[in-house]
């Protein structure tokens, strides 16, 4: 029985979703052969103030995007990322070392950029360590926090992320381009458009436009929906308010010029995406990856500065969608698409499907399984002298990086 430790934190929904996708894919692919454990490192093994990161992150993104974007840019160099991670490890060292002792594993998998280097440092304090795998869950404009040359394998979602890894000092043979891990249930639940619409009770002929703002219904969903409504388009509008009950109530009380359905929090996104023709959403990596697998073109109305900026460029450059950063721009873009008709929508759908990676989670599961078969790796903590193939002996310490 192989034990896999998944390191994540609920700073945004994508990290947990990626960890759960990997966990469930491995359990499905290797039944009765693997045990997987997920740990929210910030909540469970971090001192103040890091233990409040899951609460602080969404507040910062929602109230001070410009500050976040500036911090992202200033910290996004090899030297600065390494220095900041070293400072974090000093603060978290005792807890991280305890975490590694309490959760022995045959492979450790990190799906959070900020945890990558501190987790590697903690592993190097052991007398021998398991292989360390990094699964990058940002799509394109990945931060240097993700890239640690001491990691045994780094799995990236796109070619641009691979190139940034090279800039970060990794070798090509340390990385694989796999795509983003989307839960196996998503691809397995996709059906044809007609079947999905029949099950949902949607109009079989009208183009279906889905608006979504995440599980909490964040962003300018109401204003965007009303801007679309003012265009009197020949379409049907589907608005997902998530857990935002006040938004759902406002939507239900509004008058609409086209058939309009509103939903609260949903668990059937594969079915909704299969039934849709256009997705209006923010530029989150998981949503974009799911939409591409479903062949669903996107109108992106928002992006977190820095980490999601590249996502917009990726979608636009591949002609799978457009960026429309205001409700009026969304409505204008949608009106233009509707004038193009079914042929234009099909072309964009094909472009989106072309960059989708439906098998990514299986590729990632196989890579992790292969790493878990390897023997523990000496850290030279007990014997700090390492003999090179040339016969020369050098002294090494766990915290330094050595490449010959």
Give per-residue pLDDT as tens, 87-104: 999 999 999 999 999 999
* pLDDT interval class at 394 (50, 70, 90): low
Are residue 243 and residue 349 in the same domain, yes or no?
Answer: yes
Structure tokens at 336: 């233009």
Structural domain contains residue 264: yes
Q: What is the mean pLDDT of the chain?
A: 90
Structural domain contains residue 401: no
Structural domain contains residue 59: yes
Structural domain contains residue 53: yes
Are residue 264 and residue 215 in the same domain, yes or no?
Answer: yes
The Cβ of residue 388 has, within 10 Å, a number of other Cβ atoms equal to: 10
Are residue 379 and residue 329 in the same domain, yes or no?
Answer: no
Can you tell me the distance from the alpha carbon of 117 to that of 402, in angstroms, rounded to the nearest whole number?
Answer: 15
Residue 336 lies in domain: 190-354
Are residue 265 and residue 375 in the same domain, yes or no?
Answer: no
Query: Could you report the per-residue pLDDT of 23-77, keeping only the tens digit for each?
Result: 999 999 999 999 999 999 999 998 888 777 777 777 777 677 778 788 889 999 9
Q: Residue 275: which of 193, 202, 209 has the closest Cα?
A: 193
pTM for the structure as a whole = 0.89
Structural domain contains residue 402: no
Structural domain contains residue 222: yes
What's the domain count of the chain? 2
Q: Residue 374: which of 152, 90, 70 has the closest Cα?
A: 152
Q: Read off the CATH number of the domain in which 12 is found.
A: 3.40.50.2000
pLDDT of 265 higher than 60: yes
Cβ-Cβ contacts under 8 Å for 41 (sequence gap 6 or more): 7, 8, 9, 96, 99, 112, 115, 119
Compute, in degrees rounded to 10, the torsion defined by CA atoms 398, 369, 144, 184. Answer: -150
Structural domain contains residue 400: no
Are residue 195 and residue 247 in the same domain, yes or no?
Answer: yes
What was the pLDDT predicted at 144? 96
Structure tokens at 384: 């700090």
Structural domain contains residue 403: no
The Cβ of residue 244 has, within 10 Å, a number of other Cβ atoms equal to: 21
Are residue 8 and residue 54 in the same domain, yes or no?
Answer: yes
Q: Determine which helix (DSSP H) or strand (DSSP E) holds 84, and give its type and residue range.
A: helix 78-102
* pLDDT interval class at 393 (50, 70, 90): low
What was the pLDDT predicted at 402? 40
């Amino acid at each position: 029985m192989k034990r896999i430790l998944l390191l994540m934190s609920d700073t945004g929904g994508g990290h947990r979703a990626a960890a759960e996708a990997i966990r469930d894919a491995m359990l499905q692919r290797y039944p009765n052969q693997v045990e997987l454990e997920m740990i929210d490192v910030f909540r469970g093994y971090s001192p103040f103030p890091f233990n409040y990161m899951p609460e602080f992150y969404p507040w910062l993104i929602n109230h001070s995007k410009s500050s976040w974007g500036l911090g992202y840019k200033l910290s996004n160099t090899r030297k600065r990322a390494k220095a900041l991670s070293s400072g974090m490890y000093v603060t978290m060292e005792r807890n991280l070392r305890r975490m590694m002792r309490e959760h022995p594993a045959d492979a450790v998998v990190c799906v959070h950029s900020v945890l990558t280097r501190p987790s590697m440092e903690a592993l190097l304090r052991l007398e021998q360590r398991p292989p360390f795998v990094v699964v990058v869950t940002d799509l394109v404009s990945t931060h240097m926090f993700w890239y640690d040359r001491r990691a045994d394998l780094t799995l990236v979602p796109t070619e641009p992320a691979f190139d940034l890894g090279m800039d970060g000092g990794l070798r090509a043979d340390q990385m694989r381009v796999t795509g983003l891990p989307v839960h196996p249930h998503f691809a397995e639940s996709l059906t044809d458009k007609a079947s999905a619409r029949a099950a949902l009770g949607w109009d079989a002929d009208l183009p279906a436009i889905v608006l979504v703002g995440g599980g909490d219904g964040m962003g300018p969903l109401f204003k965007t929906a009303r801007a679309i409504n003012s265009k009197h388009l020949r379409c049907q509008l589907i608005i997902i308010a998530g857990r935002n009950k006040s938004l759902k109530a406002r939507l239900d009380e509004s008058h609409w010029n086209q058939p309009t359905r509103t939903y609260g929090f949903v668990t059937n996104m594969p079915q909704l995406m299969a039934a849709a023709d256009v997705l209006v959403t923010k530029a989150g990596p998981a949503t974009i990856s799911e939409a591409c697998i479903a062949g669903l073109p996107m109108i992106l109305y928002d992006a977190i500065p820095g980490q999601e900026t590249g996502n917009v460029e990726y979608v636009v450059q591949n002609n799978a969608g457009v960026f429309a950063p205001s409700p009026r721009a969304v409505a204008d873009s949608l009106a233009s698409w509707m004038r193009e008709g079914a042929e234009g929508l099909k072309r964009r759908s094909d472009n989106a499907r072309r960059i989708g990676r439906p098998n990514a989670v299986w590729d990632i599961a196989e890579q992790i399984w292969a790493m878990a078969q390897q023997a523990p790796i000496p850290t030279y903590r007990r014997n700090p002298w390492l003999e090179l193939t040339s016969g020369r002996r050098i002294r090494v310490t766990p915290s330094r990086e050595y490449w010959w």
